[in-house]
């Protein structure tokens, strides 16, 4: 069966299951969940490996004279410690490299099946000795407690691993030492634990994503001017430090006779004038460079090297402003903007402020000249 055909069959089933248990994950949320698993494995694997190592050396010291009798236990402890330390090294590496979801899922699947095999071997050995089979169940409970596994994937792992152990026990003595109903009830309880923890985690992630989205919306609304689409003075304050250590062109612009537009045509037309000039300025200088400084003033901050022929660009911008057509505004009276530009290298916030003041001063000189 081709991968495309498998996807065609499985995708509707997965979506239906998602609808039943209320899971609708975005790709970003899936990445966050897998990274959480990676961090959990990193946090748990080293202490567990260290503990197994202590038990290994403790067993060696205590049972040195009869070491052959404990060879199986020693191999079991050593293999568990080796798997834990290997997992710790891999997760540390992948956390630094920001491994993709497939690698993380492969790692969790690998660890699950390796520890399952280890647990089955240990439990079967205890079963044959007449002891309680705790190792396999402990492995299952540990994975259900620590990792977040997609419910269908968890169901497959739990049922297959429990059935595999039952098959081995059946081959030994028809599993006379266990009650099969209770055996599978425990498996279902562990599966329920997987599902409950997964759903709770998903809901927690989704609630956090909602809160993050609302916070981002609030930050955006507080740092942007709704009328013109540009950033505002709060955004400028937040970004002020970014302009330190740069070679800058700073332009302060003001709409000529703006008060008259409001007085003659009304504030609605005045708003259209500001919106039109704001849109044009964004188109010509880019979103990152433009701020509505206040009232009818716009601030443009450009880093040298990112903009060429700034003087020519300003002349073109001024001509485009004059060509703007504003609904409800007499086209016989074209719009004009006065502006002033300052340029310099900044080594501190005071240098940035100095450029703003210099650009503002030059703008007013141009404005006074035009209004004479």
Give 113-165 pLDDT, tens digit per residue: 999 999 999 899 888 888 878 889 999 999 999 999 888 889 999 999 999 99
Residues 22, 56 within the same domain: yes
The answer to whether residue 321 is domain-embedded is: yes
pTM listed for this prediction: 0.60
The answer to whether residue 96 is domain-embedded is: yes
Residues 294, 362 within the same domain: yes
- Cα 58–chain centre separation: 44
Select from 188, 218, 248 the last residue of a domain.
218
User: How many separate domains does the chain show?
Assistant: 2
Residues 342, 275 within the same domain: yes
* Res. 9: pLDDT tops 60: no
Name all contacts of 108-113 with Cβ < 8 Å and 24+ positions apart: 108/37, 108/41, 108/147, 108/149, 109/157, 111/41, 111/83, 111/87, 112/143, 112/157, 112/161, 113/157, 113/161
Residues 241, 351 within the same domain: yes
Task: Express as a percent the part of the chain with pLDDT over 90.
Answer: 41
Task: Express as a percent the part of the chain with pLDDT over 70.
Answer: 92
* Res. 345: pLDDT tops 90: yes
Q: Residue 299 pairs with which residues in a beta bridge?
A: 252, 291
CA distance 78 to 88: 15
Helix, coil or strand: residue 295? coil
Residues 156, 29 within the same domain: yes
* Average pLDDT value for the chain: 86
Residues 119, 243 within the same domain: no
Select from 184, 218, 252 the last residue of a domain.
218
The answer to whether residue 75 is domain-embedded is: yes
Q: Give the domain range for residue 266.
A: 233-371
Residues 113, 117, 120, 126, Cα dihedral to 10°: -140
The answer to whether residue 226 is domain-embedded is: no
b/e per residue 259-268 (b: at least 16 CB within 10 A): eebbeebeee
Residues 256, 189 within the same domain: no
Residues 56, 158 within the same domain: yes
User: What backbone phi and psi angles, to 5 degrees, belong to 253?
Assistant: -125, 150
- Please list, in sequence order, all residues whose beta carbon lies within 8 angstroms of the beta carbon of residue 360, skipping any fewer than 6 positions away: 252, 340
Residues 153, 16 within the same domain: yes
């Amino acid at each position: 069966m081709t991968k495309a055909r498998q996807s065609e069959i499985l995708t509707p089933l997965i979506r239906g299951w998602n609808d039943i248990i209320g899971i609708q994950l975005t790709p970003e949320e899936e990445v966050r969940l897998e990274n959480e698993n990676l961090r959990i494995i990193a946090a748990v694997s080293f202490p567990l490996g260290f503990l197994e190592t202590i038990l290994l050396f403790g067993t060696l010291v205590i049972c040195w004279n009869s070491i052959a009798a404990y060879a199986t236990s020693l191999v079991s402890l050593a293999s568990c410690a080796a798997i834990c330390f290997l997992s710790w090294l891999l997760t540390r590496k992948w956390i630094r490299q920001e491994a993709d979801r497939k690698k993380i899922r492969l790692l969790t699947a690998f660890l699950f099946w390796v520890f399952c095999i280890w647990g089955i071997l240990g439990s079967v050995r205890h079963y044959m000795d007449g002891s309680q089979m705790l190792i396999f169940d402990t492995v299952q409970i540990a994975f259900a407690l620590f990792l977040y596994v997609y419910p269908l994937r968890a169901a497959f792992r739990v049922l297959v691993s429990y059935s595999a152990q039952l098959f081995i026990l059946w081959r030994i003595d028809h599993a006379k030492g266990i009650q099969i109903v209770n055996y599978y009830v425990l498996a279902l309880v562990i599966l329920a634990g997987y599902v409950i923890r997964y759903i709770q985690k998903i809901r927690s992630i989704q609630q956090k994503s909602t809160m993050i989205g609302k916070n981002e919306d609030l930050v955006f609304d507080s740092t942007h001017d709704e009328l013109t689409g540009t950033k505002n003075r709060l955004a400028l304050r937040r970004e002020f430090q970014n302009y330190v250590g740069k070679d800058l062109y700073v332009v302060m612009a003001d709409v000529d006779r703006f008060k008259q537009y409001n007085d003659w045509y009304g504030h609605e037309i005045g708003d259209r004038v500001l919106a039109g000039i704001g849109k044009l300025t964004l188109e010509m200088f880019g979103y990152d460079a433009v701020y509505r400084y206040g009232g009818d003033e716009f601030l443009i901050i450009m880093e040298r090297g990112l903009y060429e022929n700034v003087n020519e660009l300003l002349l073109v911008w001024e001509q485009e402003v004059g060509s703007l057509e504003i609904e409800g505004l007499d086209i016989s009276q074209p719009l004009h903007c006065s502006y002033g530009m300052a340029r310099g290298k900044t080594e501190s916030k005071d240098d940035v402020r100095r450029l703003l003041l210099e650009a503002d001063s030059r703008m007013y000189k141009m404005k006074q000249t035009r209004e004479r």
